[in-house]
Amino acid sequence: MSSPAGELRAAATKLRALATAASDDSGSTNWHASRHFPELPDSTFTALWATGVRSLIGGGGGRGRPPGYVSAPVGDYIAALDPAVGLLFADWLDAAAVDAEQIGPAPHALAVARAINGGQS
């Protein structure tokens, strides 16, 4: 079994790798959702974008291609937790690992780490 600090560092490493790969693939660390019908908050016509770059959802509709949209709540959530936020969370988990060694693990940080690590310690 890994120590709490080890669990926190493992989650930071995993999250940093995932955020970096997503950023590299999309061309941006910042993502946003663009509602095509803002008066309909649960509209399925919400596109996800890598800021200043391109759409994150494949397809644009048309012959044999599904539209590249998600529901507004899903799009807003994904955009709120873009790679920039993932990198900040990874830094926080690294800092929590240092704290865990010095004063003991923060329960919420450890819970986040365990969720990222898939419940494995």
Q: What is the pLDDT of residue 43?
A: 64
For the chain, residues with pLDDT lower than 70 are: 1, 41-44, 58-68, 120-121
Q: Which DSSP string do the residues of 50-96 spell out, in sequence order?
A: ETTTEESS---SSTT-----B-HHHHHHHHHT-HHHHHHHHHHHHHH
Q: What is the pLDDT of residue 35?
A: 77
Q: State pTM to two decimals.
A: 0.83
**Residues 37, 66: Cα–Cα separation, whole Å:** 18
